[in-house]
Amino acid sequence: MAIQKEHTQQERYKAFSHVFDEGTLRAVFKMSSQGMFDKLQSPIKIGKEANVFTATKGDGLICIKVYRIACNFKKMYEYMAPDPRYSGLKRNKMSIINTWAIKEYRNLLRAREKGVIVPKPIAVHKNILAMEYIGHNEASPQLNNKAPENPEEFYEMLISNLRKLYQDAKLIHADLSQFNILNHDEKPVLIDFSHAVDLRYPDSRSMLERDIRIVCTYFNKLGMKLDYMEETQRVMK
């Protein structure tokens, strides 16, 4: 499998800055020495809380998501505190950031076990998450960057996945938009599960409605006529 085309020096600097502090570098080295991957390559995504890179593993690729040490960990704590799965979370910066990474790993694992199409989580260590690479010569684009050729068909596959996520995995994505859905060979792949909550989370219903409303708004711009309340009911029943 070919490596992604080279990014500019400016892009590479922006992707690596504020991510690889001394502790993160040690964590990267440990994961590499344990055979999780061979070598970090180009950045795929530069986000507010984490950056995602390709990494070689044998003759293929995987993704490495590195959560920023300089992120708003207090906001992360406030978000996780009501989640019964993390009721004993300490108010320690690194503990919060590392738990945030573990949370995404477990959410992905839980979703995938129930048949939701998400990247396969491979390993998590400290503030680093290793997961399946979705793409061919280049990473599959976000839905925001590549609209589906058949919006109705794509949407039905997406709703099927959201129904499995809600009914079987008992999870709500809670940060869903066209930026967190990949268009992989005209099929949806859900990504970015760090915000996902289970159904016991306070006000989880409104989170589901918000997810569906944002998705419906996107597809309505492509010519569909969706009512987000009706679509929310489709997911829940």
Question: What is the residue extent of each domain of the chain?
Answer: 9-132, 151-236
Q: What are phi and psi of 205, to 5 degrees?
A: -60, -45
pLDDT (0 to 100) of residue 53 = 93
151-236 fold = Transferase(Phosphotransferase); domain 1 (1.10.510)
Q: Is 175 in the active site?
A: yes
**Region 20-31: what's the mean pLDDT?**
85
**Region 154-182: what's the mean pLDDT?**
98
**Region 31-38: what's the mean pLDDT?**
90
**Region 10-18: what's the mean pLDDT?**
52
Torsion over CA: 154, 52, 56, 4 (sign):
positive
pLDDT (0 to 100) of residue 1 = 31
Asked if 1 contacts 38 with a C-beta cutoff of 8 angstroms, the reply is no
pLDDT (0 to 100) of residue 42 = 85
pLDDT (0 to 100) of residue 4 = 41
pLDDT (0 to 100) of residue 18 = 56
- pLDDT, tens digit, 9 for 90 and up, residues 101-128: 999 999 999 999 999 999 999 999 999 9
pLDDT (0 to 100) of residue 13 = 44
pLDDT (0 to 100) of residue 15 = 52
| Banded pLDDT at 31 (limits 50, 70, 90) | very high
Asked if 88 contacts 50 with a C-beta cutoff of 8 angstroms, the reply is no
**Region 14-27: what's the mean pLDDT?**
71
Q: Which of 192, 198, 203, 211 is catalytic?
A: 192
Q: Which of 59, 175, 198, 227 is catalytic?
A: 175
- Token reading at 45: 């995504």
Architecture per CATH, 9-132: 2-Layer Sandwich (3.30)
**Region 157-173: what's the mean pLDDT?**
98
Residue 189: Cβ-neighbour burial (10 angstroms; 0-12, 13-18, 19+): buried
